[in-house]
Amino acid sequence: MSTSLPSYLKIHCADHETDRVAESQVESEAKWEQTELAVQATSVLINAAAKKGSDQVDQVLADALLATDATAAAVYLLDDATEQLNTRFVFGMLPAHRLGTSRPLRGARGDLEAMVQGTFTMQDLPANRMDQHSIPEPFASAICLCLNGTELPIGTLWLYSNAPHAFDEKATAAARLAATDICHTLVSLHRLSSPANGSSAPASARGRDLIDEENAAPDFDADRFVEAMEPLPGHTPPAIDDAPSAMHEWEKQISDWQCDTLPLGTRLARDWMVDGMVESPLAVAQSWHHWDVLPDGILAIAMCQFGHAWAPQGDLGDTLDATVARAALQAHLGYRHTPQEALMRTLHSLLQVRDAAIDESGRPSLSLLYAHVDPQSGRAAISSIGQWSSLIASPQGYRSLNLDRAATIAAEEIPGELPIMSHETTLLDGEALLVTSAQWMGIASEAPPLTPRLDETIRRDGIDHDSESVRHQIGASLQKAMMEGERSPLAALRRHTASIPLNRERAALALLHQANPIS
């Protein structure tokens, strides 16, 4: 049996007498049905619980109107796909043409603002028609509040007013209490309508096939729904089963993004070919390369390797630092900076974003190389930081650039000076510049253990003969391929490493100067 509303609540009903008469003629079953849908328990909620819940929500909305001096109220709840906002409760307005209607969440700026901020107030709307934030009803002012579950919003509560006044702090606090009370009311309805209480078919089930309890769909879990509506428990919740699959999906998306942003091998200018490669055992690669033609016609090439050293499991912090470095470097490409100046500005940007990206010795959390090449003269200016392996090969032989020499700096000199190394060389016709990640893409570090005599030799002269041996092997392979007319140095490099297990990432970039290509 329903209870009549207090007399003071009647002043908040519809303004016109015809509206009040029409509202009183709306069948109660329609309101009960919307209550059933609001709590998403159509298979367990009984008629009495729905009627009681409808009266309770009406009471909360009436109290909210009185406390905030508003005119009408409505509750909109999200559907399962979180794409539509369905009208479940209205008070102070004609419900016949409103209950059960829906509107898209996309474009509902007022609701979205409330879901982000918790509370969003709109006032003096007739004087500011261009900033109505998609208010659902034509009123002069409104306040929208988010109805929160445990982690995600489940809908919004709107309080409307005919007067273009501002909702003060007391009114906003009362509205927040009303929103909390509505959430608690929906939770209590679930507790009252559990299957153990002998529930009967809901009103909304008319016209549908009734399902026996033993044949009911097992995918609805009322306890889990109630748990999602209530505050978090004191203990740490168990890990979500879908987390690993979500991580794999994120890794795939990042990997696809990396592939989409890497440039393809191309003729960068007349007589100049450029190509790059990244082969990684990880889902998210730990390197990138880039090239471009600057406004003055100079060729620009860049390459980056994440982290101080190879991390078998990868490092998300290093990956984000490298992404910041790429954005900063590309932002500086259009200016007339030398490679050293561009590298310095990039590292300063990296330091501003995250202090820990550069340690106390001045060593950044990545290796970065940037070079300018004059396509007319072949003159190349190369600046680098970190560890690199490099050589220049031609049909006549090969020579090293010594980009892998380490450099350190005193901590008090940061950030004025950073351990950036600069080199200048000339790429003659028929020569190719090859730059790879540290230790020749890790090939040198994966060689068999050194013999005692060779280990003693390294300690005596300071030269890593194992790395030198790999450099000679790669240089000889490139020289032979170029003598045979090979125009892709990286193809020869891939053939050389084809039989070596991919235990760590291999990144390389090659720039070929060939004025008279062999047909």
Q: What is the pLDDT of residues 19-37, one digit of tens each?
A: 554 555 555 666 766 776 6
Question: What are the beta bridge partners of residue 159?
Answer: 73, 143
Q: Is the pLDDT of residue 366 over 50?
A: yes
Element at 349 (helix H, strand E): helix 339-353
39-193: what fold? Beta-Lactamase (3.30.450)
What pLDDT was estimated at residue 243? 55
| Omega within 30 of 0 (cis) for the link into 415 | yes
Compute, in degrees rounded to 10, the torsion defined by CA atoms 398, 402, 404, 410: -170
Those residues with Cβ within 8 angstroms of residue 117's Cβ, 6 or more apart along the chain or in another chain: 146
**Within 380-451, where are the H helices?**
438-441
Q: Is the pLDDT of residue 411 over 60?
A: no
What pLDDT was estimated at residue 297? 92
Percent of the chain's residues with pLDDT above 90: 21
Distance spanning both ends of the chain, measured CA to CA: 95
Range of 182-186, 356-360, 364-368 with top mean pLDDT: 364-368
pTM (predicted TM-score): 0.51
CA distance 107 to 109: 5
Considering only 43-57, 321-335, 431-445, 469-483, which range has the smallest mean pLDDT?
43-57
Block residue for tokens 């168990």: 238
CA distance 55 to 62: 10
Pairing relationship of beta strands 84-91 and 102-104 according to DSSP bridges: antiparallel
- Band (pLDDT 50/70/90 cuts) for residue 237 is very low
What pLDDT was estimated at residue 438? 84
Classify residue 508 by burial, with Cβ atoms within 10 Å: 0-12, 13-18, 19+: buried
Structure tokens at 451: 């013999």
Helix axes 28-39, 169-192, angle to 10 degrees: 90
- Band (pLDDT 50/70/90 cuts) for residue 131 is low
Percent of the chain's residues with pLDDT above 70: 69
Q: Is the pLDDT of residue 409 over 70?
A: no
Average pLDDT over residues 371-397: 93
Q: Is the pLDDT of residue 10 over 50?
A: no
Range of 196-205, 262-271, 406-415 with top mean pLDDT: 262-271
What pLDDT was estimated at residue 25? 53
Element at 143 (helix H, strand E): strand 141-148
HEC string of 91-124? ECCCCCCCCCCEEECCCCHHHHHHHHHCEEEECC
Structure tokens at 7: 């007399």
What pLDDT was estimated at residue 145? 92
Q: Is the pLDDT of residue 198 over 70?
A: no
pLDDT tens per residue, range 469-514 = 888 989 898 999 889 888 888 888 888 888 888 888 889 999 999 8
Q: Is the pLDDT of residue 64 over 50?
A: yes
Side-chain-side CA neighbours of residue 65 (13 Å): 24
Dihedral sign computed on CA atoms, order 91, 95, 99, 102: negative
HEC string of 468-497? HHHHHHHHHHHHHHHHCCCCCHHHHHHHHH
| Among 330, 424, 398, 415, CA closest to 368 | 330
Block residue for tokens 């501002």: 166
**Assigned superfamily of 259-445+463-513:** PPM-type phosphatase domain (3.60.40.10)
Structure tokens at 452: 């005692």
Q: Is the pLDDT of residue 410 over 80?
A: no
Q: Are 71 and 57 in contact (CB under 8 A)?
A: no
Alpha carbon of 466 to those of 309, 447, 471: distances in Å? 18, 8, 9
What pLDDT was estimated at residue 74? 93
Those residues with Cβ within 8 angstroms of residue 195's Cβ, 6 or more apart along the chain or in another chain: 44, 213, 222
Structure tokens at 442: 């890790």
What are the residue boundaries of the structural domains of the chain, listed by start?
A: 39-193, 259-445+463-513
pLDDT tens per residue, range 277-319 = 888 888 888 999 999 999 899 999 999 999 877 777 778 888 8
CA distance 140 to 124: 6
Range of 206-215, 303-312, 393-402, 495-504 with top mean pLDDT: 393-402
- Band (pLDDT 50/70/90 cuts) for residue 44 is very low
CA distance 90 to 3: 18
Those residues with Cβ within 8 angstroms of residue 213's Cβ, 6 or more apart along the chain or in another chain: 195
Those residues with Cβ within 8 angstroms of residue 241's Cβ, 6 or more apart along the chain or in another chain: none
pLDDT tens per residue, range 71-126 = 899 999 888 888 889 998 999 888 878 888 889 888 888 888 888 888 888 887 76
